[in-house]
Amino acid sequence: MAQNDIGIDLGTTSIIVALEGKGVVLNQPSVVAVDHRKDQVLAVGDEALAMVGRTPNYIAAVRPLKDGVISNHMLTKELICRFVNKVYDSHLIKPRVAVCVPAAITGIESDAVVEAVVAAGARQVFLIDEPIAAAIGSGIDVREPSGHMVVDIGGGTTDIAVISMGGKVRATSVNVAGNTFDDEIVKLLRLKFSVAIGLRTAEELKKEIACCRPGTFADSMEVKGRSLLTGLPQRLTVTTEDLYEAVMPLAEQIAAAAHQVLEKTPPELAGDIYTDGVMLTGGGAMLKGLDEYLAQQLKVRVRVAPDPINCVALGTARCLVIGEELESGFQDATPRLGRR
C-alpha cells in the first residue's frame, strides 16, 4: 500500500481520517462556520465548533451532514477538501482515498462526495459501506465464510448488519443514535424539572452518568440551565436514575432493530452469531450498560470494539488493502467522474 492512501469516516458528529499502518491522524467535529453575508466558509472542525454560540448572527456554525445524510453539498465539499489537504502533504503522488459514506446516502450525494475528494487532490476514490468498515476496523475478518453481526451506533444513525464472506447479508439503519439520546435528555429535564439545558450539557450527562442497565451504576452530576418557571439561571443535580426514563426507550428501539435483523438472518449464520456474539462500534457503543442490555435482550454475547469511535476510519483505510477481496460494500467510484 502506498503511504499516501487515506481512509475517511464521513460521520455526522465527526470526520476521522486514518492511514493504514499509522492509525488515526485527524479527528475533528463535522462543523463548518459560514459567513452568510459573503457566503464564505470561515472555519471548519474544532475551530468552527469553538465559534458555536459565540458569533454575531450573520455567522452560523452548520453541521452539513445531518442524521446520516448530506444536507448541504457545498459545505460538505468544503469540509472534505480542507481536511484531506491537512493530512495529505506530498503533492508529488496523488493519494488514493477511501470514504465511508452513510448507508442511506443517495447517488447524487455520493457523487458530491467523490467530486469533493477528487477536488482535494485524490487520484482514485473508493466508497465503503459503514457496517463493512466498522466490522473490519473492529478486527473482524469479514472475508471468512462465517456470520458476524455489527451494530454501529453513531451520532445520527445506528447501522446494524450481518456480514459474511465479504458482503452484507442482512442490514438495517435506524435514526436512533447518540444525538437522539441527547435530545431525549433535554426533553426529560424540561418535563421532569422544568429546566432547559443545552445539547452539549445533555451529551455530558449521557457520557458521564447515563446507564442502560438499571441497578448496575449510580452517580450524579450538577448541571446549569434555565428555569422554565422563573426564566432565571438554575443549578440542578441529575442522577443516573433520573435519566433511565430518557435512555431506556431508545435502548429498546436499538434492541428491537437488531432483533429484526437477527430474525431475518439465515439459520447457519444466526448460529455463527450465537457462538461469536455481536460487536458494538461507534461512539454510542460507549454508553454505560448498553452492551449488557443488548446481550440480555438478544440472548447473545455483546462486545464493545476496542476503539469504538475509530473503528470505521481504521476499517476504511484497511479497505484500500483488502477491498478487492470484498463481495460488496466497496466500490471504485472514480469512473463516475467521467459521466459528468
Ligand X SMILES: Nc1ncnc2c1ncn2[C@@H]1O[C@H](COP(=O)(O)OP(=O)(O)OP(=O)(O)O)[C@@H](O)[C@H]1O
Cβ-proximal residues to 22 (8 Å cutoff; 6+ apart), any chain: none
| Cα distance between residue 332 and residue 266, in whole Å | 29
Contacting ligand X (CB under 6 A), which of 148, 168, 170, 206? 206
User: Is the separation of the CB atoms in 149 and 261 below 8 Å?
Assistant: yes
Give yes or no for residue 315 binding ligand X (CB under 6 A).
Answer: no
| Cα distance between residue 38 and residue 64, in whole Å | 18
What residues does 44 pair with on adjacent strands? 32
Q: Which of residues 5-24 bind Mg ion (CB under 5 A)?
A: 11
User: Is the separation of the CB atoms in 197 and 188 below 8 Å?
Assistant: no
Give yes or no for residue 248 binding ligand X (CB under 6 A).
Answer: no
A 10 A CB-CB count for 147 gives: 23
Q: Which residue's CB is nearer to ligand X, number 255 or number 269?
A: 255
| Contact code string over 280-309 relative to ligand X, x by CB under 6 A | --xxx-xx---------------------x
User: Residue 154 CB, nearest distance to Mg ion (Å)?
Assistant: 3
Q: Which of residues 173-192 bind ligand X (CB under 6 A)?
A: 177-179
Ranked by CB distance to ligand X, the top (closest) residue is: 178
User: Residue 231 CB, nearest distance to ligand X (Å)?
Assistant: 29
| Cα distance between residue 340 and residue 337, in whole Å | 6
- The total number of residues shown for the chain amounts to 340
Instruction: Please choose, out of 4-12, 103-111, 166-174, 241-249, the segment that lies near ligand X by the rule CB under 6 A.
Output: 4-12
DSSP single-letter state for residue 337: G
| Cα distance between residue 171 and residue 240, in whole Å | 32
| Contact code string over 152-171 relative to Mg ion, x by CB under 5 A | --x-----------------
| Cα distance between residue 336 and residue 340, in whole Å | 8
Give yes or no for residue 147 binding Mg ion (CB under 5 A).
Answer: no
User: Is the separation of the CB atoms in 168 and 132 below 8 Å?
Assistant: yes
User: Residue 294 CB, nearest distance to ligand X (Å)?
Assistant: 14
Give yes or no for residue 11 binding ligand X (CB under 6 A).
Answer: yes
Instruction: Please choose, out of 40-48, 69-77, 171-179, 216-224, the segment that lies near ligand X by the rule CB under 6 A.
Output: 171-179
Give CA angle at 244 (212, 221), nearest 5°. 100
Q: Which residue's CB is nearer to ligand X, number 31 or number 162?
A: 31
* Interacting residue ranges for Mg ion, rule: CB under 5 A: 11, 154
* Interacting residue ranges for ligand X, rule: CB under 6 A: 9, 11-14, 68, 102, 154-157, 177-179, 203, 206-207, 282-284, 286-287, 309
